C-alpha cells in the first residue's frame, strides 16, 4: 500500500555534515516529521573545488535516489553551493518535487544592521555564483557587504569528525581559518564603519559559530538560515496539505518523527557528527557506495 503523502519523509541533503545544522532547525520546527538525510561526504566539499556542472549532476542524482528509495514528499537542499548552482535546474527537472533551498541571510542582515556594514563568510562556489551576485545586488542599496570566500573551512569542519586529526589539532585548524577569514573582513563592533552583523553563508560554518563568536565579540549578530529554511518548509508542506499531523486519531500528541542518515563518505564520521550535534545514535546512520 502506498504511504499517504503526509506520512512520507522529507529529504535533506548537503555536500557533507554541514546540513546537519539545517536538520537541527527542521526537527525543532517539525518534530513529527520523518527525515532522510544524505551527506555526500565522499564528494565534499562542493564549494571550494567543484564546478557547477558537477554540483548539478550530484544534486539531480541525489534527488532521484531520495525519491526512488524513500518516496520523499519534499527536498531541502541544505547546501548554499548546491542551491546556488542547481536548485533552479532541480525545480525544472523534477517539478513535482517541492524543493527548498538555502541562501545566505543577506536580506535579514541588511534589515537588522545598525552600522549598515555586514560581513559574509561563504564558499568560493557560493560567492562566485550568479544567484549570490543577484542577491547581493538586491540588498546593497543601503548596506555595505564585505564578502570573504573561505577556502578550506568547510573541509576542515568536515574533517573534524574523522579519525586522522585528534580533536585539539582539528579545533586549532578550524580556529586558525576562522581567524584568518574573519580578520580579512575588517573590524567588528557597533561603531560607525564597523561590521555589526556576520552572515554564515555555508551550513558547515554554523558548527564553528562559537569560535567565530570569540573572534567578533558579543555585540555582533551572527546569522544563519536554518530557522528560516525550517519555517519555509513548514509553509510549503502546509500549502500542499502534506504536513504530518500533530495529533493521533485518538487526540493524543503524535509521536516524534524518525531520522535516517546516509553518507557516501566515512560512516564513522557521520556517526560522530550525528551523536555530537543531533544526539542521535550510531544505528541511525548508514554508508552508501560512493558514486
Where the chain has pLDDT below 50, the residues are 1
* Backbone angles phi and psi of 10, in degrees to 5: -95, 130
Please indicate whether residue 79 is annotated as part of the active site: yes
pLDDT computed for residue 226 by the predictor: 96
Same domain? 202 vs 234: no
Same domain? 110 vs 44: no
Enter the pTM of the model.
0.92
Same domain? 120 vs 218: yes
Same domain? 239 vs 218: no
State whether residue 139 is helix, strand or coil: coil
Q: Grid coordinates in use for 72?
A: 520523499
Q: Grid coordinates in use for 168?
A: 585539539
Q: Which of 150, 178, 202, 285 is catalytic?
A: 202
From 223, 249, 264, give the residue that closes a domain. 223
Q: Grid coordinates in use for 143?
A: 548596506
From 223, 245, 263, give the residue that closes a domain. 223
Same domain? 97 vs 120: no
User: What stretches of 94-208 show up as alpha helix (H) in DSSP?
Assistant: 106-112, 124-127, 130-138, 153-159, 167-185
> How many CA atoms are closer than 13 Å to the CA of 96, on its beta-carbon side?
6
Q: Grid coordinates in use for 182?
A: 574573519
pLDDT computed for residue 1 by the predictor: 39
CATH for 81: 3.40.50.1860
Q: From CA 198, how far away is CA 214, in angstroms rounded?
A: 13
Same domain? 167 vs 180: yes
36-46, pLDDT tens digit by residue? 999 999 998 88
CB-based contact 101:19 (threshold 8 Å) = no
Q: Grid coordinates in use for 183?
A: 580578520
Residues whose CB falls within 8 Å of the CB of residue 159, separated by 6 or more in sequence, listed in order = 165, 170
- Calculate what percentage of the chain has a pLDDT beyond 70: 97
Same domain? 144 vs 165: yes
Same domain? 245 vs 265: yes
Domain, as residue range, for 244: 5-102+226-287
pLDDT computed for residue 254 by the predictor: 85
Q: Computed from CA positions of residues 267, 64, 238, 103, in that sequence, does the dihedral angle turn out positive or negative?
A: positive
Same domain? 77 vs 123: no
Helix axes 52-70, 80-93, angle to 10 degrees: 60
Q: Which residues pair with 145 in a beta bridge?
A: 118
Same domain? 180 vs 133: yes
Same domain? 178 vs 283: no
Q: Which residues pair with 287 in a beta bridge?
A: 263
What Cα–Cα distance (Å) separates residue 12 from each residue in 15, 84, 275? Answer: 11, 16, 18
- Please count the structural domains in the chain: 2
> How many CA atoms are closer than 13 Å to the CA of 228, on its beta-carbon side?
13
Kind and range of the H or E element at 277?
Answer: helix 267-278
pLDDT computed for residue 253 by the predictor: 85
Same domain? 52 vs 117: no
pLDDT computed for residue 291 by the predictor: 60
Kind and range of the H or E element at 99?
Answer: strand 99-101
Please indicate whether residue 178 is annotated as part of the active site: no
From 223, 248, 264, give the residue that closes a domain. 223
CB-based contact 174:212 (threshold 8 Å) = no
Amino acid at each position: 500500500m502506498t504511504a499517504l503523502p503526509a506520512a512520507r519523509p522529507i529529504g535533506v541533503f548537503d555536500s557533507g555534515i554541514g546540513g546537519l545544522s539545517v536538520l537541527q532547525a527542521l526537527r525543532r520546527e517539525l518534530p513529527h516529521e520523518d527525515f532522510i538525510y544524505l551527506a555526500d561526504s565522499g564528494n565534499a566539499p562542493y564549494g571550494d573545488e567543484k564546478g557547477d556542472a558537477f554540483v548539478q549532476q550530484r544534486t539531480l542524482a541525489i534527488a532521484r535516489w531520495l525519491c526512488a528509495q524513500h518516496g520523499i514528499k519534499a527536498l531541502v537542499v541544505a547546501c548554499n553551493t548546491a542551491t546556488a548552482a542547481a536548485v533552479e535546474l532541480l525545480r525544472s527537472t523534477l517539478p513535482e518535487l517541492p524543493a527548498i533551498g538555502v541562501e545566505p541571510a543577506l536580506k535579514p542582515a541588511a534589515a537588522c544592521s545598525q552600522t549598515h556594514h555586514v560581513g559574509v563568510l561563504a564558499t568560493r562556489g557560493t560567492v562566485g555564483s550568479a544567484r549570490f551576485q543577484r542577491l547581493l545586488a538586491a540588498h546593497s542599496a543601503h548596506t555595505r557587504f564585505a564578502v570573504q570566500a573561505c577556502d578550506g573551512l568547510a573541509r576542515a569542519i568536515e574533517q573534524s569528525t574523522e579519525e586522522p586529526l585528534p580533536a585539539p589539532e582539528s579545533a586549532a585548524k578550524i580556529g586558525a581559518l576562522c581567524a584568518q577569514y574573519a580578520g580579512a573582513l575588517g573590524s567588528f563592533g557597533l561603531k560607525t564603519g564597523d561590521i555589526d552583523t556576520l552572515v554564515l553563508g555555508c551550513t558547515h560554518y554554523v558548527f564553528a559559530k562559537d569560535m567565530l563568536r570569540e573572534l567578533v565579540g558579543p555585540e555582533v549578530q551572527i546569522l544563519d538560515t536554518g530557522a528560516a529554511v525550517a519555517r519555509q518548509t513548514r509553509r510549503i508542506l502546509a500549502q500542499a496539505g502534506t504536513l504530518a499531523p500533530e495529533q493521533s486519531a485518538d487526540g493524543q500528541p503524535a509521536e516524534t518523527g524518525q531520522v535516517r542518515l546516509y553518507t557516501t563518505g566515512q560512516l564513522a564520521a557521520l556517526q560522530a557528527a550525528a551523536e555530537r550535534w543531533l544526539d542521535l545514535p550510531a544505528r541511525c546512520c548508514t554508508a552508501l557506495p560512493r558514486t
